[in-house]
Structure 1
Amino acid sequence: MTTANEASPSEPSGGRGESSACSSTSSPPPSPRIVSLLPSITEILCELGLEDYIVGVTHCCDYPPSLFERTSRPPPRVVTRSDVDPYSMSQSEINERVCGSLRNGQSLYGLNGTALREICPTIIFTQSLCDVCAVSYPVVIDACAKLLGGGEGEGEGDGDDGERLNPKVISMEPTTLKETLRTFHVAAEAVGLTDAARRAEEITSHIRAGLETIRNAADGRPRPRVAFLEWHDPIFAGGHWIPDMLDMAGAEYVFPVKSGERSVGVADEHFVEFDPDFILIGPCGFGLERTVKDTLQLARTKPWWKEMSAVREGNVYALDGNSYYARPGPRLLQGTGIMAACIHGEETAKELGEELCPTEGYCQIMPGKYRHGIDDDFDPCRATIKALSAVPLLSPAVLRLHPSTPLFVAWNGVLVLVYEGFPPSLVQCKRRIEMFLGSGPGEGGLKEENFGSKWPKTTLGALDDDNNEGKVSLEELTTLRDLCARHSSRILSLPRRDADVAVRSVSAVEYECRSLEKLRSRTDLDLLPSTASPSSDDNDEFSFCSAEERERTQSVVDEWNDDLDSYLSKVNAPGSRIQSYRDASTAGGRTCAVFVDDDAMPSALRRCLGEFRRDVDVAFPGRYSWMGEGSLHCTLRSLG
């Protein structure tokens, strides 16, 4: 992110120790100190290169991450609060709370006046468009008046009489896509830095060009009748800039809401009468995971839902409303691209690419049942394949070996091949299973995920019950570590193309034994073909792992590398001997996994693992049994 050149951002004030930041002097005007009371304006300011000037934000501001991770100065202070916790309440409960507050003339949000005084803003961006979405303009004016006068209450600060807050308060209230683009220029003009004004012109030109690309991609295609729900319990039809976005995406808005008009409530029976071709659901303030969960709940609780044409045809899409639709800022561009992809299909999504149509922002809700307790013939494997088949289609992946310790002894003496972390496509697989089938108490779905499947590995072998001559000694464990280290070095010396495990499909299986050597059923789902190949020399596109993924795996490996004395008790803990993997169960089990077969594992890596097994058998004759070659796999998620 670039920084304006006309002035260097001053450090955020710590309160009394920096009273000069609030005092009137004859020195040159200070660098702007900005408080943003709108998540959309926070994003706009950062796009303008003003990230380092932001000293205060709302409790809802969460993007871009760099704003909160900056090291050049402290992160911005949170200066608002809300009594509404959307993630602990249903949509109907939130609606009742909001309506009650508005009827009583109460604001849903509060301002921390003390924090405002301490950070001494020179500019405060707020809004008067929607009292539901953010702190309202009157609340801000009232808080500033109290601070200016040193009045009683929340606005009162602890500074001396020389410290008075006199910021410029700017209300932003775009109602259309065109007006949203204008806010970039308004923000730049308010801050008064030349570089920001230049950036505003560049960014708005880029957004206009992107919107034109989306319009061209949709041009000439049928314009289906589309419903956009910004809330669905009760139903609210999206307003303001939503009609503009749908028009750009090549759709006819089924609701009688014009560009710039507020969202409107729609009775259930009227929604059924509209019977749109497509239903897009992007609740205000909710991300994709919550939207999927609420949409599935809607399908269970509204008898009329399954009769809708869009539902029967699989034309229902959950959207990340919080990121791409509720905030009138730069990401409305991507929101428009997502709409076009949902309406016109995967070819349009490919044409637009990730820049204009991020796959993380939407997910198709396929017709049918996803969770336990809905109908008697619920099949977790079938439901998993359905969830993973939804648009956007998942990409191939590469499991890259751990960069220092690809072989080690896990708990219970199990020998494993460990990977660096789950790449994004497989993280998305796991996330979809959680979203669609549910997990945890009260979800009516899967059991909570065990830690063992949260880090990626392939189990190679386990101690043999019948030939286990007592527990593993410290000397034997040291020998095992030496063997793992020696063979890990050989594996890591391989070129990447000879060590990367290519993932071109995922499988939902019902098994008799958890080694997957005896299966009752197996359904494979091919991942989206790509022009690039996950078996090429450069697999970074397919193998990149987030820091969180790498850290989780590293925490497991660190236990093994740190202290063998303390680790020995975990190796000798009961359980996970070979028979526990191979014992057949009447009930069996189900899992979603990636099979590491001949097509996935390079022959050079397979030879290295064969040599590792041979040397372990020589050092520990009869102590280890090895999993069958055809059953080697990496578990993504247990399905019960």
Structure 2
Amino acid sequence: MPQYTDQLQRSIDIPSTPQRIISLVPSLTELLFDLGLGDRVVGITKFCIHPEEWFRSKTRVGGTKQLKHEVIAQLQPDLIIANKEENTRADVEALMPDYPVWVSDVNTLEEALDMMQRLGEITETREKAGALVSEIQESFKQLATLGSQRVLYLIWQKPWMAAGRDNFVHEMLECCGWENVVQDTRYPELSDQEIRELDPEIVMLSSEPFPFQEKHIDSMQTLLPNAKVILVDGEMFSWYGSRLRYSAAYFQQLLHSTK
């Protein structure tokens, strides 16, 4: 049985060309679809909304942090794909004695591309994975930054929570040349006063995990009357699978609209 290393540097025995794959990571479910794995993916989470045809047809094994272990057992997977941040350590460790569990750990673009290449090898879709990596690399090379602006990227309300350092959103902001005003922790809670003191030029209200809408712009604009407050597509900033094909073009539009 071939042995592979995941992004936690764990060695895992995985059957040649796994045929019963469960994905516990929404952005990687979409990646597996784009790699052409079709019926080889037998289970996904309730948050794996892309592609829609899989969301409607594949067996759901719970949420990313609330897995249904009995459903997973019924599916008899020969490979489970998880993520260090999106899945709980307890859930993942509970699965490891019974199944090959390959854990991704993605905080940078380089790590995302490495993950794609590794999954291409494991699933024997190297050519498609390689083409995808090349497409994403080229799109980011063509991303033209327009000078540094100070950005606050919010992911939650009541309490306010921001994307800070050492995560994939921070990496995407840096790729665009934006300066993340939150640098001390990964996902800090912020008071109104702390937000005022950060004094960002741009506030980005993400569509996920909290679904910010137009009505939330007014409350933030009251808090920061001099800032530009905008809604942004959270998938473009935080989905580190094949959706990255579209991220650079989306960022370019944002850069032009916020300059």
TM norm. shorter chain > 0.5: yes
- State which of 291, 294, 304 in structure 1 corresponds to 2:212: 291
Q: In structure 1, how many angstroms separate the alpha carbons of the residues matched to 2:140 and 2:47? A: 27
- State which of 142, 152, 156 in structure 2 corresponds to 1:231: 156
Whether contact under 8 Å (2:169, 2:238) holds in the other structure is no
Q: How far 1:177 moved relative to its partner?
A: 1.9
Partner of 1:122: 78
1:344 aligns with 2:256: yes
1:456-491 alpha-carbon deviations (Å, 9 max, x no partner): xxxxxxxxxxxxxxxxxxxxxxxxxxxxxxxxxxxx
Q: In structure 1, how many angstroms separate the alpha carbons of the residues matched to 2:35 and 2:46? A: 21
Whether contact under 8 Å (2:168, 2:238) holds in the other structure is no
1:120-199 matches, within 5 Å, as 120-129=76-85, 133=86, 135-143=87-95, 145=97, 166-191=98-123, 193=124, 196-199=125-128
Whether contact under 8 Å (2:149, 2:201) holds in the other structure is yes
Q: In structure 2, how many angstroms separate the alpha carbons of the residues matched to 1:283 and 1:229? A: 9
Partner of 1:78: 60
Q: In structure 1, how many angstroms separate the alpha carbons of the residues matched to 2:96 and 2:68? A: 11
Q: In structure 1, how many angstroms separate the alpha carbons of the residues matched to 2:36 and 2:168? A: 25
Partner of 2:11: none
1:197-225 alpha-carbon deviations (Å, 9 max, x no partner): 121111111001111122x3x3xx33222
Q: In structure 2, how many angstroms separate the alpha carbons of the residues matched to 1:55 and 1:242? A: 29
Runs of 4+ in structure 1 over 4 Å off: 28-31
Residues 224, 35 of structure 1: alpha-carbon distance in 2 compared, 3 angstrom cutoff: same
Residues 31, 343 of structure 1: alpha-carbon distance in 2 compared, 3 angstrom cutoff: closer
Partner of 1:316: 229
Q: How far 1:119 moved relative to its partner?
A: 1.6
Q: Which amino acid aligns with 1:291?
A: F
1:94-137 alpha-carbon deviations (Å, 9 max, x no partner): xxxxxxxxxxxxxxx332233222221100011222xxx4x324
Whether contact under 8 Å (1:232, 1:283) holds in the other structure is no
Whether contact under 8 Å (1:285, 1:326) holds in the other structure is no
1:457-496 matches, within 5 Å, as none
Secondary structure, counterpart of 2:66 in structure 1: strand
Whether contact under 8 Å (1:325, 1:335) holds in the other structure is yes
Residues 226, 266 of structure 1: alpha-carbon distance in 2 compared, 3 angstrom cutoff: same
Q: In structure 2, how many angstroms separate the alpha carbons of the residues matched to 1:171 and 1:307? A: 40
Secondary structure, counterpart of 1:125 in structure 2: strand
Partner of 1:447: none
Q: In structure 1, how many angstroms separate the alpha carbons of the residues matched to 2:17 and 2:121? A: 16
Q: In structure 2, how many angstroms separate the alpha carbons of the residues matched to 1:66 and 1:316? A: 34
Whether contact under 8 Å (1:33, 1:122) holds in the other structure is yes
1:265-293 alpha-carbon deviations (Å, 9 max, x no partner): 3332121122211111115324xxx4215
Q: How far 1:319 moved relative to its partner?
A: 1.6
Residues 117, 183 of structure 1: alpha-carbon distance in 2 compared, 3 angstrom cutoff: same
- State which of 263, 267, 271 in structure 1 corresponds to 2:191: 267
Q: How far 1:77 moved relative to its partner?
A: 0.7
Secondary structure, counterpart of 1:318 in structure 2: strand
Residues 333, 294 of structure 1: alpha-carbon distance in 2 compared, 3 angstrom cutoff: farther
Partner of 2:140: 211
Partner of 2:37: 50
1:67-111 alpha-carbon deviations (Å, 9 max, x no partner): 346xxxxx32101148xxxxxxxxxxxxxxxxxxxxxxxxxx332
Q: In structure 1, how many angstroms separate the alpha carbons of the residues matched to 2:191 and 2:247? A: 26
Larger RCO, structures 1/2 (Cα 8 Å, 6+ apart): 2
Q: How far 1:255 moved relative to its partner?
A: 2.3
Residues 343, 31 of structure 1: alpha-carbon distance in 2 compared, 3 angstrom cutoff: closer
1:546-585 matches, within 5 Å, as none
- State which of 22, 46, 56 in structure 2 corresponds to 1:35: 22
Whether contact under 8 Å (1:127, 1:137) holds in the other structure is no
Residues 144, 245 of structure 1: alpha-carbon distance in 2 compared, 3 angstrom cutoff: closer
Q: In structure 2, how many angstroms separate the alpha carbons of the residues matched to 1:243 and 1:30? A: 35
Q: Which amino acid aligns with 1:245?
A: M
Secondary structure, counterpart of 2:213 in structure 1: helix
Residues 305, 330 of structure 1: alpha-carbon distance in 2 compared, 3 angstrom cutoff: farther
Q: In structure 2, how many angstroms separate the alpha carbons of the residues matched to 1:337 and 1:238? A: 21
- State which of 226, 229, 250 in structure 1 corresponds to 2:177: 250
Residues 122, 183 of structure 1: alpha-carbon distance in 2 compared, 3 angstrom cutoff: same
Q: How far 1:168 moved relative to its partner?
A: 1.0
Whether contact under 8 Å (2:24, 2:45) holds in the other structure is yes
1:348-497 matches, within 5 Å, as none
Whether contact under 8 Å (1:39, 1:61) holds in the other structure is yes
Q: How far 1:48 moved relative to its partner?
A: 1.7
Identity percentage over the alignment? Answer: 25
Whether contact under 8 Å (1:126, 1:169) holds in the other structure is yes
Q: How far 1:58 moved relative to its partner?
A: 0.5
Q: How far 1:185 moved relative to its partner?
A: 1.5
1:177-202 alpha-carbon deviations (Å, 9 max, x no partner): 221111101222333x1xx1121111
- State which of 99, 107, 110 in structure 1 corresponds to 2:66: 110
Q: In structure 1, how many angstroms separate the alpha carbons of the residues matched to 2:20 and 2:81? A: 11
1:518-566 alpha-carbon deviations (Å, 9 max, x no partner): xxxxxxxxxxxxxxxxxxxxxxxxxxxxxxxxxxxxxxxxxxxxxxxxx
Q: Which amino acid aligns with 2:42?
A: V
Q: In structure 2, how many angstroms separate the alpha carbons of the residues matched to 1:327 and 1:49? A: 19
Residues 271, 177 of structure 1: alpha-carbon distance in 2 compared, 3 angstrom cutoff: same
Q: In structure 2, how many angstroms separate the alpha carbons of the residues matched to 1:292 and 1:264? A: 21
Residues 211, 320 of structure 1: alpha-carbon distance in 2 compared, 3 angstrom cutoff: same
Q: In structure 1, how many angstroms separate the alpha carbons of the residues matched to 2:16 and 2:44? A: 23
Q: TM-score, normalised by structure 2?
A: 0.81
Q: TM-score, normalised by structure 1?
A: 0.35
For structure 2, the 5+ residue unaligned runs are 1-14
Whether contact under 8 Å (1:59, 1:79) holds in the other structure is yes
Aligned residues: 243
Q: How far 1:294 moved relative to its partner?
A: 5.7
